[in-house]
Chains A and B, each alone.
Chain A
Amino acid sequence: MNERIQEKLSILADAAKYDASCSSSGGKRKNENRGLGNAEGMGICHSYTEDGRCVSLLKILLTNHCIFDCAYCVSRKSNDVKRAAFTVEEVVDLTMNFYRRNYIEGLFLSSGIFSSPDYTMERLVRICKKLRLEQKFNGYIHLKTIPGASEELIQEAGLYADRLSVNIELPSELSLKTLAPEKNYEEILTPMSQIQTKVAENREERELFRKVPQFAPAGQTTQLVVGASPETDHQIIKLADGLYKGYGLKRVYYSGYVPVSGDDRLPQVVQPPLMREHRLYQSDWLMRFYGFDADEILDPQHPHLDLEIDPKLAWALRNRHVFPVDVNTADYELILRVPGVGMKSAKRIVAARRFAPLTLDHLHKFGVVLRRARYFITCRGMALEKRDYDEQTVRRKILYGDGQTRSALVKRQLDLFAPEPTIIAPPDLVSPQLDLFRQAG
């Protein structure tokens, strides 16, 4: 019996691990029934895997039996892997006992599709319901909604889960048709807009009647697989931008494609595109916290992110006319756009200059990376650089330092091991994002 549960857990955790999301923040569920758990605060990463990703939730599939044959997925019908399925009671027991020992913030439950979407979804909802009603569990629950499941089941899921998500996986309809023949965009986008509508309606109702139960208080997210299909970075961030604006998503996750099959519909890559994934996360941050528009980061003339430099620096180099900005007078929004200035240092700058004019020494102590920022700022009217370098020179100096190109290669080797101090994640997002974000540092 114990052996069997060990084996199930290893199979069904292994099959779920390619889902990047592990966030446990944004919940508002308080422990008001003297039950177990509290999900009102910020997310907590209880552990970190050896690949540096956050472990916040018990992330498992209910089963990896699946009637679909999506090329990028380990659980696809045609893949010859061991199959297993948890019972409802087993998932409840594992979740409760892991939570009681402070191993996890809650449960992230997804599933392969067996029999039919509704049949599968009904099982997932039953687990949530049991946890909430029978076990008085107030921890975090993230539920994957199964493409094609009925609206009624999604409605019910939202009452017990903190977050719902539907993975788009492939960033264009054409790729989806090729690699996931049983899926289509409509089946993915329909539940997404249903969830959006329900979240909005629920918010209005709750303003009138506080007793109305919450619907998915931590909102919805999705994931895009990067590198399994030919979309450009510009297409990907435009899609993400559309999802944030059009569907009110809380997060879009980018998952560098890890080769999981020898399926000849897919590129035969050896290493997942970690740097590209990292740059996409940086761009995502720029859109959500730094006031950048997708089209400022990339455009059809520049469809791919620069792997050597971060997207904010790339933007600043293309837009030299905006700079220099003076740290003692410029608006917060503009200071945020200076390479080498993160959210924390920008906030400190704007707060502290109310008391006294800031000097370079202050900037350094606030954590501004002057090595980058020096080409873009003035301080009390003084520039740090006497000469006005062109774009290529600034780029070279930031990447390789002041030395001759001869030593540049050596420096570059060193830089590969240096942490990238580019953008600092906001404190409410301690979960996987920060980690993924730093992934390729």
Chain B
Amino acid sequence: MKPPRRTNLPAKANAAAGMRRATALPPSFDGTARFTYDGSFDGLLCVLLACWESRRWPEAIQSEDVAQGGLFSETQFVPTDEARARRVWEGMLKYMPGEARTNLYKAFLSESPERELLIFRYVQLAIEAGGQDISENFGNDTVRAIADITKQMFREKHRMEAFVRFEKTHDGLFHATIEPDYDVLPLIAEHFTKRYADQRWLIFDRRRRYGLYYDLERTDIVSFDAEAGQAGSKSAVSAAVLDEREPLFQSLWQTYFDHVNIPERRNIKLHRRHMPKRYWKYLTEKQPRERHFRPIDNKQRPQQ
């Protein structure tokens, strides 16, 4: 139902002017190449270093498992080397403040197919700017794209901080399953560690098949075998291992959710905008009701 945007912009505005490399390469490059790497962030940092060392401007940077070769250009695989990655990571601070560097890491976690080239271009721009902070140069398409992705990542992280629903098992573990749009587990670890310091918890990303586990001392990344999360069911924990009071609190939460609603203000569109349907699968309040909802009659009819 959205009416078309009425703007009189020239058509070329959409042609992503700055996204394409200008025909002339910057002076520190004398050719182009396609790069592949193992898909890790350290691996990507090594690719950046390889670009500068080989004086090759990357036409593509792709994880080796999804890489598609170019017909006429050479493809170079860059092995991951922790020491070289660290060199790049630390060296980046010469050209950008820590926050901008963190944003590049967040952009990497977005899993966007353009993330590698965006990150390369951003670092290259920062180097060319010679240490001037470019993070607010929103007129530049690369800078704006990074800012927009960072914002999307923030929103998804914030959603997960909101929509995680723990279930308590009989041995006192609080367990939750999520399927976020982006790989945000590394970004939410600190939040949950600070907040739930006195209970053991586990948050499992079913799509990416790994989780965060806090054992009252520290939070670690843990991975699971294929059978861990059963498909189709809301919880990865079967009802038999739940704490005896768990069903009570789930049901109380549903009762609360139903009764806090004001029917006169009903606005399902707004409801869905804030809580998109794809997240409902793991939300306790969106599961079928065991108890029938009986509204409280709080209205006195006019006495005539």
Contact = CB atoms under 8 A, between A and B. Distances in A.
B24 interface: no
Given A79-B300, A418-B1, A258 B262 contact: yes
A370 B10 CA distance: 14
A98 B249 contact: yes
A438 interface: yes
A258 B266 CA distance: 12
A370 B4 CA distance: 13
Interface stretch (B39-47, B83-91, B133-141): B133-141
B199 A36 contact: yes
B252 A9 contact: yes
B264 A102 contact: no
Given A81-B296, A352-B139, A365 B271 contact: no
Contacts of B303: 262
B138 A348 contact: yes
Contacts of A362: 138-139
B222 interface: no
Interface in A322-365: 348, 351-356, 358, 360-362, 364-365
A45 B162 contact: yes
Interface stretch (A48-56, A181-189, A202-210, A310-318): A48-56
* Chain A interface category by residue count: 35 or more
A31 B9 contact: no
Interface residues of B, number: 75
A259 B264 contact: yes
B249 A101 contact: yes
Contacts of B257: 47, 49, 55
Nearest to A42: B158
Nearest to A75: B298
A274 B248 contact: no
B297 interface: yes
A18 to B, nearest CB: 7
Contacts of B259: 9-10, 13-14, 17
Interface in A125-170: 136
Residue from B134, B199, B257 having most chain A Cβ neighbours under 10 A: B257
A44 B269 CA distance: 20
Given A100-B166, A268-B302, A418-B1, A59 B260 contact: yes
Residue from B161, B253, B295 having most chain A Cβ neighbours under 10 A: B253
Given A81-B296, A101-B168, A365 B144 contact: yes
Interface of B: 1-3, 5-10, 13, 134, 136-140, 144, 158, 161-168, 174, 176, 191, 194-199, 245, 248-249, 251-253, 255-271, 273-275, 283-285, 291, 294-303
